[in-house]
Structure 1
Amino acid sequence: MSEFAFELELCAALEDGEHGDSVVARQLGGSVADPGGRILDIVCVEPGPEFAERVAITGETIPEAAIESDVGTGRARFWKDAFDCHPEHARRIVERACEIGFFERERRGGRDYVRQIARYPDWYGTIVGIENKPDLGTPGDLEAQLRTDASLGLVDEAILATESYVTRAHLNRIPDEIGVWRFFPETGDLEVIREPTRLPVSEPGIEPLAERPGRTDVAVVSAAEKARARRRLAERAYGKGWRTYAFPDCEAYESATDRGATLPYCSWKGRVVDPASECGSACDGFEAAETPDVDLEGEREGRTPWVADPGGARRQSGLDQFL
């Protein structure tokens, strides 16, 4: 099974199992000093004490700059005065925050003033990062990736998920803090080989940047930087989810529903495929057809606590119409 298919099957199983109340997402940035330097395959965000308040705001990712701005829930502020950044960037943030319903706007004397529709809540708890490696015989950069997770401590728990039989030699090659799961995609069964150790997310972390013979460049990441990165990670997970794939416009596509999740299954290949890299006219089995009508957003809303648009008609047009 490809890593892509393994990842989707595991996401479906997590959503259908004990993590059904959590926010499950995939392919999110898991580094701080080097944005994009570490991508987490799967992220599970457990609800915090004010999760319902977060659900009530918007189904989209709230921009970090909007959260950190001086826009509050009380008196509306002139939008330019609420940001410590270039006005063009501030304008884009305000537009987006108004569009998704996190800000509301009023017009005074030819100028726009904004306020938050609600206080940003304490909505997330434990964050779990999962690295997928179905075949441990081809580990790639697995050890370096898991060392980064352990030393940086951005997520509360880090786990390796595999379909392979796990030996003592495998366990000895990865940090002791990393949990290990054996996952069986055909049945959805999950065997815990080793429980993860809680990582020190409230303390400074060490992020490896580059390795060369006899030397590894690192960055010391402060606790405050990690806290902001954790909030960005949780927000991105909430807005994105894991159903970020398309479906091929091909006769060979069939709706495969595994544990309540609709996956892109190809009858010609006989397996779940990644339409972005495997489908199209270059495929020998390709036969053009109508793009399948699959409502992934509706599926997510029906199976998880996430709500697509709690504000309904509250969404507002962009700020640029006034400027």
Structure 2
Amino acid sequence: MREFGFELHLCAFLERERDAVLARQLGGGVHSSRRVLDVVCVEPGPNFADRTAITAERIPDLAIESDIGPGRARYYRDGFDCRPDRARHVVDWATDIGFFERERRSGRDYVRQTCRYPDDWFGRVLAIENKPDLGAPGDLETQLRKDVRLGLVDEVVLATASHVTGAHLNRIPEEVGVWRFDPETLSREVIREPMALPVADPGVEIIDEHAGWTEVRIADTDQKSRARRRLAERAYGKGWRSYDFPGCAEVEDTAVAGGGGVPYCDWKGRVVDPGNECGPDCPGFEEADPPVVDGEAERDRRTPWVADPEGQARRQSGLDRFT
């Protein structure tokens, strides 16, 4: 099975097995965005319900890190340490999703948060590297070594469909757990449990590797904490069904591991990657209306993510009168 199909089968399986937020293909760096994590699994924290009540969307990093609070509204440019056009973009974004509310005073925009952002809304974060065929590992060892040395996530797991030998285990960091996952039978064998990574300690981020030398940067505890929150926010807003179904009569929605929203092509006889495999260039393409698939409804039904929260703006209305 190709890696995309393997990844979707694994996500559907984990969605059934775990009470967590799942997402695919997210940047897993602090100083660099070049490292991409195949699957991210974010477990709910103590105040997860407070986060779900705000918005189903990702909250922009600059809005969370700004000096705009839930008390008295303030002139938007005074709350950001960035260019005015960037601040305006963030304010528009945060207002559209219900994290900010805005009012006009003397021709100026004043904003405040509709609620206090719950820092401890997420708990453990698991990163999964998918490599169905260990016979073609690519840069697998380097990728996993980057994750371990940085320690941005709590645990790292390698998921494969291959038979795992001792030689395979010896070539990857001992901190990395190993699963053998069969996408056809939807069964998983834990070959090695992952070790907990020191997320609260500084980490070393491998930026680039060259013959004879490696470029690294230190990620301090504050930088890692902010990067972990950004990773969790992006996972919350994105999910793993981050693709559109193509307008092809051969492609249909299939219930993999009991969960819908997975594109299956009858002509190819397998799950397909719509963005890279579907369209007029495919010999089996037959133009038709795309299947009606409600991925958000599937996610809402099967995970702790909430598709349509009530929001906070009305509860905060008029708060500045008492501050």
Q: TM-score of the superposition, structure 1-length normalised?
A: 0.94
Partner of 1:70: 67
Partner of 2:198: 200
Counterparts of 1:86 and 1:245, CA distance in 2: 32
User: Structure 2 regions of 5+ residues with no counterpart?
Assistant: 315-323
Counterparts of 2:312 and 2:62, CA distance in 1: 24
Partner of 1:319: none
Partner of 2:31: 33
- The yes-or-no answer on 1:276 pairing with 2:248 is no
Counterparts of 1:30 and 1:313, CA distance in 2: 30
AA at the equivalent of 1:173? R
Asked whether the 8 Å contact 2:67–2:79 carries over to 1, the reply is yes
Counterparts of 2:266 and 2:16, CA distance in 1: 25
Q: Which moved more, 1:182-191 or 1:129-138?
A: 182-191
Asked whether the 8 Å contact 2:98–2:311 carries over to 1, the reply is no
Partner of 1:16: 16
- The yes-or-no answer on 1:84 pairing with 2:81 is yes
Asked whether the 8 Å contact 1:29–1:39 carries over to 2, the reply is yes
Asked whether the 8 Å contact 1:65–1:93 carries over to 2, the reply is yes
Asked whether the 8 Å contact 1:101–1:311 carries over to 2, the reply is no
Partner of 2:235: 237
Asked whether the 8 Å contact 2:23–2:239 carries over to 1, the reply is yes
Distance apart, 1:312 and its partner CA: 6.4
Taking a change above 3 Å as real, the CA distance of residues 313 and 209 of structure 1, as seen in their structure-2 partners, is: closer
SS of the aligned residue for 1:218 comes to strand
Q: Which moved more, 1:302-311 or 1:237-246?
A: 302-311
Partner of 2:225: 227
Counterparts of 1:231 and 1:260, CA distance in 2: 28
Distance apart, 1:313 and its partner CA: 10
User: Structure 1 regions of 5+ residues with no counterpart?
Assistant: 316-323
Partner of 2:4: 4
Counterparts of 1:294 and 1:262, CA distance in 2: 6
AA at the equivalent of 1:7? E
Asked whether the 8 Å contact 1:59–1:238 carries over to 2, the reply is yes
SS of the aligned residue for 2:306 comes to coil
Render the CA deviation track for 1:136-160: whole Å, top value 9, x for unaligned: 0000110000000010000000000
Counterparts of 1:28 and 1:56, CA distance in 2: 24
Q: 1:55-204 residue pairs with structure 2 within 5 A? A: 55-121=52-118, 122-204=120-202
Counterparts of 1:110 and 1:250, CA distance in 2: 50
Asked whether the 8 Å contact 2:95–2:102 carries over to 1, the reply is yes
Render the CA deviation track for 1:112-132: whole Å, top value 9, x for unaligned: 211111111020010000000
Distance apart, 1:282 and its partner CA: 1.0
Render the CA deviation track for 1:223-250: whole Å, top value 9, x for unaligned: 1111110000000000000001221211
Counterparts of 1:284 and 1:86, CA distance in 2: 49
AA at the equivalent of 1:151? R
Distance apart, 1:301 and its partner CA: 1.2
AA at the equivalent of 2:270? R
Render the CA deviation track for 1:140-194: whole Å, top value 9, x for unaligned: 1100000000100000000000010100000000000000011111122111110
SS of the aligned residue for 1:105 comes to strand
Asked whether the 8 Å contact 1:251–1:288 carries over to 2, the reply is yes
Identity of aligned residues (%): 64
Partner of 1:46: 43
Asked whether the 8 Å contact 2:114–2:312 carries over to 1, the reply is no
Counterparts of 1:51 and 1:252, CA distance in 2: 40
Distance apart, 1:221 and its partner CA: 1.1
Partner of 2:309: 310
Q: Which moved more, 1:249-258 or 1:88-97?
A: 249-258
Counterparts of 1:93 and 1:210, CA distance in 2: 31
Render the CA deviation track for 1:193-240: whole Å, top value 9, x for unaligned: 101110011111111122122211111111111111000000000000
How many equivalent pairs are there? 312
Distance apart, 1:262 and its partner CA: 2.4
Partner of 1:218: 216
